[in-house]
Every structure is written in C-alpha cells, then in structure tokens.
Structure 1
Amino acid sequence: MRKCLGFWLLLLFLIPQEVLADNPIMKDKSFSVPAVIVYEGKVYYYVATDMEKKGNTYGKKEWNVYSSMDLENWKLESQFEEPKINMTNRSTVKASHLIVKNDDFFWYVLTESDDNIPDYRVDVIKSDHPVQEWQDTSAVSVIPPDMMDELDDVERVAWKESTLSVSMNENGEAYLFFGKNNLYYVKLKENMVDLENSIKKVYINGFKGSFAGGAKIHQHKDTYYMTFTVNSPQVIGYATAKNLAGPWEYKGIIMDESTEIAPFYANIFSFQEQSYFIYHSKPVTEKQRSNGSVAIEEIYYQDGLIASPVTPTASGTDGPSYLIQQAGGNLALRINDERLVVSVAEEEQYDFRWHQTPGLIGSDQVNIVSFQSENRPGFYLVNQDNRLQVKQDDGSTEFAEIASFRIVPGLSDKTAYSIQPYNKDQYFLFMREDIIEFRKKEELADLELATFHLAAKEDIVPELQTKPVKYSESSEEPYRDGNDSLKGLESSQMIEKEETNWVVVCVVLLSAILIILIIRKYIKS
C-alpha cells in the first residue's frame, strides 16, 4: 500500500500539471514575423497571425502581444489590427522589429503593397507603453519606396523574406539593418526616424552561399552577433563584429536544416542571466503545414562563439526530457529517422530523449500522458495495432487516442513504471532489442521487460564547433550582390585590404629592381 501511495505522489511531480512553454510556445494560432523585447522583468513577444493567402504570400492582419515573466506561462496582453501605415493597400508585413530607448518603444515594420507591381518601405510607430496605443498611432516613414527603389538592385521577386533589425551600441547610437538578397545598414538620428548618414551595404567576411534574409542583431558582452537565414532548405547562420558598422566575420551555423522545422526569423535575447534563441518554424501538426509557429531554445556562449548547432526540441524551456529505459538493464527506446529501435542508452544523444506531456486525448487523469520525440517535434509514440511506433501528429481525435498512454506502477518494481495504451488497459509495453509491442500480462515471460524507468535528464549543451561554410549551387565566391560587386560599399575594411595589396606590390617591384641593378653591376665587373 505504501509503495503504491509513493508511486502516485511521485507521479504528481513526474507528470506536468499544466501545459507550459513546450514548443511551439503558442499553440492556439499560427504566427509569423516575430519580434521580442525584454522590459522591466518581462519578455514581450509580438507576432502576426497568418491570415488568408494572397498569391504566394500571407497577409498579416491581426497582431498579438504576449508577455511572460518566466518563459513558461504566456499571457495575451493585446490583440489588434496591424499598425497604421501611411499608405493605402499595404496589408503584408514582411518583417518587424521593436526596440526600447529611454522608455519609448519603437516598432519598425517593413511592408509590401498589394499592387500588381509591389513596392516596399520601412516605417516606424512610437509608443510610451509596450502594449497600449499601437493601434492608435500612425507610422512615420523611415525608408520610403522611392529610396528603396534606388537600393534594390535585384529582381523584385527576391524580396520574399526580408530583414529588419535595429540595434544600439553602448553610446546609444542606433543602426537600422534591412534587406534580403542585399543586406543594408544605416545609422539613425537621435529621434530614431531620420537617417544620420548614407545607406551602406553589409559585407560578411568568409561567408559563401545564399543570404536568405531574416537578419537580427544582438549584443553579448563586447561582441555583436548577427543571425540570418542561409540557403534553401533554410538554416540559421551567424556572424560577429566588434562594431555595428562592421567588419562582420562569418562564424558558422546555429541551427541546421530540418524537414519538420525549416527555421528562420531567429531572435536571440537575454533574460534572467540566460540567453535564448527564439525562431519561426513550421508548426508541428500536419494539418497546418503551410502556416508558421514559434519555438524557443536555450543557447550558450563559449569563447565568444555560440555553442552550436542548436537542436530544435519539443520541450523547449519546459523542464527536462526523459529516457524510457528498462528497469532491469541499460536498454532504452530510441528514434532512428521515423523508426523505433532499442539500444544501449546514451543520455547525451537526443535520439533517446522524449518530451512527456499530458495525454493528447485530453483526460484529466494525472497518469494519462503522451510522449513526443525531443528532436523530432510533432512526432509522437503511438499504439498501432499493438505495436509501438512513432508518427507525426495529424491533429485528429483518432491520433490523440492512439498517442495517449496510461502510466501505472511497474509490474516487476512498484517504484518504477509500466506503460499501457490509453484504450487497452489489459496490455503493457514489452520491449527488448528485437521487439517493441504491447502484450497482455499473461503473455509476458519476463516482467522486467515490461517495467521502465522514466528518467528525467538535464539539457544537452552542444559542444563548441563551427559548422563549415555553406555554399549555394552557383556560389564559389564570397557573398556578392546582384551586380557581382563585393558587399560592403564604403567599407573601411575593404579599403584597408586594397591599401595592403598596393604596399605588397610596391615592395615586390622595388625588390625586383634592386636585384636587377645588383646583377647588372656584377656583370659589368
């Protein structure tokens, strides 16, 4: 009796009592073009709701402002139609960014018109509150369409996924970054609207491949980090600089490509002495594959670099992930692509990790749970004809039922656990190297093979490594613009390189002349 009571008490701590901040962090809608700020002990998150599709893009009509004091519980603070823009027929927001300066909030948006020949512009909206007054304030133009036309030296179709980021240095000077195939920056005046100087292009040293937009800037200690989307399928790369005006040095990939995730529009921010990587991804439910969702991961810095690659996880910041391990041995359940295998447990490998949630079936019983693959968000353990398999959630009631399980006291050890299908309480999970299936108790020759430890494990911190530079199919040279001129117009670094090259040439010529003179003198003598 005491053992059973201990089991149920332990179960109260083992099984989450409410849905917290596992990924995606907002599950009621599909979101896009995210922006994030930290202000007075809260994280504010601004996202647009994907509305009706217009051609090959989505109109952004409804904006949502969420806040959180712990990154686990999110509150919807405000919901309103998109910010007022100073032109009609501008219903598609391609990118957005918020920044706080002297307790004033500046919301920058890059918008596209609905005309047959679209134009683009950057506007800013100002408020003295992170949530209120956005819907009552008209935008002020920062980069008007005619100025954008002068800069846009690639085909218009290239502006599908754009960059918009604003960052301030330690002197309070703000820089606006924007673009897509071409990345530009400009220093802003004190009012955060007018341009201080001319617009310049950004050059990223050592980067070869296709720049796909979504660049965001953040600072950690004395270094600036630029994250951006690379290539297709999409991955997130990053570069570093000691100055917002550059030079920027490519450092590698933060998040690699994933069939389920396709990450882009990544933001990095610090909150309560921890850094977080928040990104736009595909949703984890099959029926919403064309829409977007938002996920979050912890990140770590090592020697001025970001420990990478960061793995998209199902648990996000919501507690530990679990091993499903035999109580009487060292074998554990592992996902291999979309197959399940039983192998010797390696707890530092994501393939062995499972994110445990309340049962998808929606039962109020504390011991009804579901298991989602930690590194394949959206893929759940299911009972398919008494065989344990892993399948992607299709959002249906039928799927929720086969993906829900009952946790009961272990058959061979009451301090451990046995696992039953939600709708078949006579069957128990039986697992050995060559068999993963559900059997009736009388069919179990060894009860230890149907008894498991659900062991909570700490987060896996990636080892510091720099992924090799990615190339596009046509790129064999450093990042170039549409006219094949190196990025970094008016870049002091490029000027220094050219000066260095001339010095080398002069030294070589003078040495050659000196050698010739010595040889001639020797011949005459």
Structure 2
Amino acid sequence: MIPTAFKSCVGAALVAALALAAAPAQAANPLFPQRYTADPAVLVDNGRVYLYVGQDEAPPDGKDFVMNEWRVYSSCDLVRWTDHGSPMKALDFRWAKGRAWASDISRRVVGGKPTYFFYTTVEHATVPGFAVGVATSDSPTGPFKDARGSALITNDMTTQTDIAWDDIDPAVFVDDDGQAYLYFGNTVLKFAKLKPTMTELDGPITVVPVKDFTEASYLHKHKDTYYLSYSQHFPEETAYLTGPSATGPWTSRGVIMAKNEKTPTIHQAIFEFNGRSYIAYHNAKLPGGGEFRRSVAIEELHYNADGTIRFIPQTEAGPAPNPSPGCKG
C-alpha cells in the first residue's frame, strides 16, 4: 500500500510539473549559451525571425578577434531557436584574407525572384584594410555566394581617416520607394545608394556628420520616422538620431542602451515582429565571456507617444514569447 502522505506529495509534484509544462516558455539572455556570438543582424521573413551572428572563437586569454564564419538561427516566437549552421565563411570571398566581422541582410525580388543579400565585413587580401562584400542566396539560411567576385567597398575608396577599419559594419535599408541605402563606417559615418541589383553603388559615398560616432550604424523606419542608431564613444553605448527621410536631416535623440561591463562593444539591430519592436545586441555575459568572447541577446523595444525610444535595460529574461500563427519550429 502506498501511504496517503506519499500520494499527496506525488500528486502535488505532478500538478506542479503539469503547470510548469503549460506555462509559456521564456527566452533567456544570452540566447545561445553553447557558443560565443556577436554583431547580430536580423531579417524577418514569412513570419520567422532570422538572426545572423559572427562566431567568436578567441581563446580565454585571446588578445584579438578570431572570427572565421557567420552563423544563422531562426525562430517563430523569439524563444525557441533553430541553429541552421554556417551560411558562409569569410574565405568564401576569394579576394578576402579572413575576418568574419559584422554583417547585415536584406530580401529583395530581383528579376521576379526573391533573393537574399548578405552584406558583410572582411579583411581584403590585396587592398590593405577592411572591405565590404556582398553575397546572395535564394534561401535566408544560405549557402551564400559572392555576388560580385570583388569587394563592394574597399579601404582605398574613402580617405577621411587613415585607419584600416573605417569601412566596416554595413547596414542595408530598402525604403518604401524601393531605393536601397548602405550605411557603414568606423569613426566616420558614411552611406551610399545602391542600384536595383543591390550589388553596385549608385552614386558617391557621402559622409554623415555625427558627433561621437564610433561604429555599428543601423537604419530602420517606424511609422513615418527614420531612426539611425549607432555605437558612440568607447567603451560603446547605443545612441540614435531621427529624421524625415533615409538621409536625414538628423536630430540627436540620446542614449538607449548603456555600455557593457566585460566588452567595450555592443552592436545593435532593431526590428519589428508580430506587432512588437525589438533590439538585438551583444554583451559578454556567458561564463568566460569578454572583449573577444561575446554573447548575442534580445530585448523588447518601446516607443514613447512622441516617437522617441525608451531607454532599454539589459535583462536575463529576454522577451516574452511572440509566436507567429502557423509558423513551426
């Protein structure tokens, strides 16, 4: 015979387990505890979020970035993530010598065919310094292939600074009229229009005078306002500007995310999904994390009534589930 007290304990445990199973899952930051990830880029496509990251492979005592490939994850609800592996390696650009640095992604129908354009930073093999390449795929998870056979932007195309990494962190934005823009830079913020092919510049490279700009420019639109966010100072914090068009004029709006504790970089991407807004970024909160061993996370982002963005604290909980109807996995 099983004692009544034991039955009560088992019953209570079963009820608790069932309640836990029925409770909605909650994301946890950092998102991917099994590896170090950085520099998030986001694409929302067909009810699914695709998150592209660089993979930090530096040893615990490393003194430099060791980044050889990008990885892509996807989610229907921002809680459960599928690892799709590496869609591309830095050396898939045959003109590059390596360094899988920050990227961005866009989907566009070209010639009647949906095409995914992956803009990213690598170190050039023959032109000293870092360059921006563009690769394409017919799937958001890749594989991506070099779209040009040459860099889109090389370090010798800009002369505002003498540093080798002043043409990094590409951010692509396609406006409502179909015009595409590419923002990029370190120390000096620049942009250029893209031709409809998305693989060629359409006009000159233009400097955007932004005080205290460091890197990680990102352009998005919410309602009728354009938002140009970026990292400022070093260690970095996330600040933003607003304007009436994709090229400004810009008004400074202040800081929306504070600097990290264990890494001086932060690198954001802002997106909308199922009626809510979010920011992806990186910190160094995984065990063993640091400047060269970072961790991607996501927070919900909120706008004030006047269109400004509320300050965004970093959390361990991450965003609440936000499932897409009919999306699986």
State whether structure 2 residue 305 is matched by structure 1 residue 303: yes
How much identity, in percent, do the aligned residues show?
29
Which TM-score applies when normalising by structure 1? 0.54
Q: Is the 8 A contact 2:39 2:281 kept in 1?
A: no
CA deviations 1:151-201 (Å, max 9, x no partner) are 132231664x93310101110100011111011111111111222111111
* 8 Å Cα contact 1:106-1:125 kept in structure 2: yes
Q: Distance in 2 between matches of 1:16 and 1:22?
A: 18
Matched, 1:108 2:119: yes
Q: CA deviation at 1:272?
A: 0.6
Does structure 2 retain, via aligned residues, the 8 Å contact 1:51–1:60?
A: yes
Q: Summarize the alignment of residues 91-106 of structure 1 with structure 2, pairs less than 5 Å apart.
A: 91-102=98-109, 103-106=114-117
Pair 1:175 & 2:181 matched: yes
- Counterpart selection for 2:152 from 125, 143, 150: 143
- Are 2:29 and 2:297, in contact at CA under 8 Å, matched by a contact in 1? yes
Alignment of 1:209-248 (within 5 A): 210-248=212-250
1:186 aligns with 2:161: no
Distance 1:55 1:273, change over 3 A: same
Q: 1:304 Cα deviation (Å)?
A: 4.3
CA distance in 2 between counterparts of 1:50 and 1:18 reads 31
How far apart are the structure 2 equivalents of 1:106 and 1:80?
12
Q: 1:73 aligns with which of 41, 58, 80?
A: 80
Q: How many angstroms apart in 2 are the aligned matches of 1:100 and 1:158?
A: 27
Tell me, in whole angstroms, the C-alpha distance in 1 between the residues paired with 2:14 and 2:200.
63
| Residues 112-149 of structure 1, C-alpha deviations (whole Å, 9 max, x = no match) | 2478x942221111111111332xx234245342xx32
- Give 1:262 shift: 5.2
Counterpart check, 1:49 vs 2:55: yes
**Which of 152, 155, 159 is the matching residue for 2:159?**
152
Q: Which residue identity lines up with residue 72 of structure 1 in the other structure?
A: V
Residue matched to 1:439 = none
2:290 match: 289
Partners of 1:261 and 1:92 lie apart in 2 by 19
The answer for the alignment partner of 1:126 in structure 2 is 136
Partner Cα separation in structure 1 for residue 232 and residue 295 of structure 2: 19
Contact 1:266 / 1:278 at 8 angstroms: preserved in 2? yes
Q: Give the TM-score normalised by structure 2.
A: 0.83
The number of aligned residues is 307
The 3 A distance-change label for structure 1 pair 56 and 150 is farther
The answer as to whether partners of 1:142 and 1:194 remain within 8 angstroms in 2 is no
Q: What is the Cα deviation at residue 256 of structure 1? A: 1.6
Quick one: structure 1 residues 185 and 144, their matched pair in 2 at CA, closer, same or farther if it must change by over 3 Å?
closer
Residue 83 of structure 2 aligns with an amino acid whose one-letter code is: L
- Relative contact order (C-alpha < 8 Å, sep 6+): which is higher? 2
Q: Secondary structure at the match of 1:79?
A: coil
Structure 2 runs not aligned, ≥5 long: 322-329
Query: Are the equivalent residues in 2 in contact too, given 1:32–1:294 (CA < 8 A)?
Result: yes
> Residue type matched to 2:217 in 1?
A
1:9 has 2:15 as partner: yes
Cα distance change on mapping 1:3 and 1:249 into 2, 3 Å: farther
Does residue 82 (structure 1) correspond to residue 92 (structure 2)? The answer is no
Aligned to 1:165: 171
For 1:31 and 1:254, locate their aligned partners in 2 and report how far apart those are by CA, in whole Å. 22
Q: Deviations over 1:424-443 (max 9, x none)?
A: xxxxxxxxxxxxxxxxxxxx
What does 1:466-481 align with in structure 2 at a 5 Å threshold? none
Letter in 1 for 2:224: D
Which amino acid in the other structure matches residue 92 of structure 1? Answer: R
| SS class of match (2:214) | coil
Aligned partner of 1:38 in structure 2 is 44
User: How far, CA to CA, are the matches of 2:74 and 2:146 in structure 1?
Assistant: 24
Q: Quick one: structure 1 residues 283 and 157, their matched pair in 2 at CA, closer, same or farther if it must change by over 3 Å? A: farther
For residue 79 of structure 2, give the secondary structure of its aligned residue in structure 1. coil
- What is the rounded CA distance, in whole Å, between the counterparts of 1:165 and 1:266 in structure 2? 11
Structure 1 residue identity aligned to 2:201: L
Q: 1:269 aligns with which of 231, 255, 271?
A: 271
Query: What letter is aligned with 2:95?
Result: M
Residue 325 of structure 2 aligns with which residue?
none
Deviation for aligned residue 1:17: 8.1
Residue 111 of structure 1: how far off its partner (Å) = 1.5
Structure having the higher Rg: 1
Aligned mates of 1:75, 1:112 — CA distance in 2: 29
Deviations 1:88-122 (A, max 9, x none): 42x1133211001122100011212478x942221
Task: Determine helix, strand or coil for the equivalent of 2:68.
Answer: strand
Q: Which residue does the alignment assign to 1:468?
A: none
Question: 5+ residue gaps in structure 1?
Answer: 320-525
- Which residue identity does 2:99 align to in structure 1? T
| Counterpart in the other structure of 2:202 | 196
Contact 2:32 2:296 in 1 (8 A): yes
Q: 1:34 offset after TM fit, Å?
A: 1.9
> Per-residue deviation at 1:279?
0.3
Answer yes or no: is the 8 Å Cα contact 2:96–2:123 preserved in 1. no
